[in-house]
Structure 1
Amino acid sequence: MSYASPIVFVVDDDVSVRESLELLIESAGWQAQTFASTQEFLAHSPDEAGPSCLVLDVNPDLTGLELQQSLALDRRDLPVILISGNDVGEATVRAMKAGVVAFLMKPLDADALLRAIEHAIGRSRATLDREGDE
Structure 2
Amino acid sequence: MKPHSEMTEAQTPTYSQSRPTVFVVDDDAAMRDSLRWLLESAQLNVQTCDSAEAFLDIARPDACGCLVLDVQMPGLSGPELMDELKRRHVHLPILFLSGHGDIPTVVQAMKGGAVDFLQKPYDNAQLLERIGQALTLDADSRDARRREFLRSQRLEGLTAREREILEQVVAGRSNKEVGRKLAISYKTVEAHRGRLMRKMGAASFAELLQMMLGGRRETI
TM-score range (shorter-chain normalised) is: 0.7 to 0.9
Which structure is richer in relative contact order (CA contacts within 8 A, separation 6 or more)? 1
**Which of these two proteins has the greater Rg computed from alpha carbons?**
2
- Residues 69 and 9 from structure 1, CA distance in 2 versus in 1: closer, same or farther, beyond 3 angstroms? same
Output aligned runs, 1:67-78, within 5 Å. Answer: 67-72=81-86, 74-76=89-91, 78=92
**Corresponding letter in the other structure for 1:116:** R
Partner Cα separation in structure 2 for residue 89 and residue 125 of structure 1: 28
The structure richer in helix per residue is 2
- The SS at the match of 1:88 is helix
The structure richer in strand per residue is 1
Output aligned runs, 1:37-116, within 5 Å. Answer: 37-50=51-64, 52-59=65-72, 63-72=77-86, 74-76=89-91, 78-116=92-130
Sequence identity (%):
40
Q: Unpaired runs of 5+ in structure 2? A: 1-15, 150-220
Contact map agreement 1:9 1:55 (CA 8 A) in 2: yes
Under a length normalisation based on structure 1, what TM-score does the superposition of the two structures give? 0.87
Write out per-residue CA displacement over residues 25-80 of structure 1, whole angstroms, 9 at most, x where no aligned residue: 11112100000000001012343233x0000000067711111233345222x000
Partner Cα separation in structure 2 for residue 27 and residue 4 of structure 1: 18
Contact map agreement 2:51 2:73 (CA 8 A) in 1: no
**Corresponding letter in the other structure for 1:75:** V
2:11 aligned partner:
none
Under a length normalisation based on structure 2, what TM-score does the superposition of the two structures give? 0.55
Aligned length: 131
Write out per-residue CA displacement over residues 86-129 of structure 1, whole angstroms, 9 at most, x where no aligned residue: 41243122112122121111111111111110111111101110
Contact map agreement 1:60 1:88 (CA 8 A) in 2: no
